[in-house]
Amino acid sequence: MSAPDWSALVPCLLATAAAAVAVLLVTFAVAVRRGLHRIVDVAWGLAFAAVAVVAFVLSDGHGDDGRRLLVTAATVVWGLRLSLHIAHRSRGHGEDPRYAELLDKAPGNRTRYALRTVYLSQAGLVWLISLPVQLAAHSPSPLGPLDAVATAVWAAGLVFEAVGDRQLARFKADPEHRGRIMDRGLWAWTRHPNYFGDALVWWGLYLLACTTWQTALAGLVSPVVMTLLLTVGSGKRLLEKRMADRPGYAAYAARTSGFLPRPPRRGPSRHRR
User: Residue 270 has what pLDDT?
Assistant: 43
Entry field: residues in the chain: 273
Tell me the pLDDT band of 240, cut-offs 50, 70 and 90.
confident
Tell me the pLDDT band of 6, cut-offs 50, 70 and 90.
confident
Answer whether residue 163 shows pLDDT above 90.
yes
Which residue from 235, 236, 202, 234 is spatially nearest to 219, judged by alpha carbons?
202
| Overall average pLDDT of the 209-213 stretch | 95
Answer whether residue 228 shows pLDDT above 60.
yes
| Overall average pLDDT of the 18-27 stretch | 98
User: Residue 92 has what pLDDT?
Assistant: 80
Q: Which amino acid is at 107?
A: P
User: Residue 272 has what pLDDT?
Assistant: 37
Tell me the pLDDT band of 267, cut-offs 50, 70 and 90.
low
pLDDT, tens digit, for every residue of 80-94?
A: 999 999 999 888 888
Residue 150: partners with Cβ closer than 8 Å, 6 or more residues away? 204, 205, 206, 207, 208, 210
Residue 14: partners with Cβ closer than 8 Å, 6 or more residues away? none
Answer whether residue 269 shows pLDDT above 50.
no
Answer whether residue 12 shows pLDDT above 50.
yes
Answer whether residue 103 shows pLDDT above 90.
no
Q: What is the spatial distance between Cα 47 and Cα 76, in angstroms, rounded to a whole number? A: 10
Answer whether residue 193 shows pLDDT above 60.
yes
User: Residue 138 has what pLDDT?
Assistant: 96
Q: What is the spatial distance between Cα 108 and Cα 94, in angstroms, rounded to a whole number? A: 23
Tell me the pLDDT band of 1, cut-offs 50, 70 and 90.
low
The mean of the pLDDT values for the chain is 92
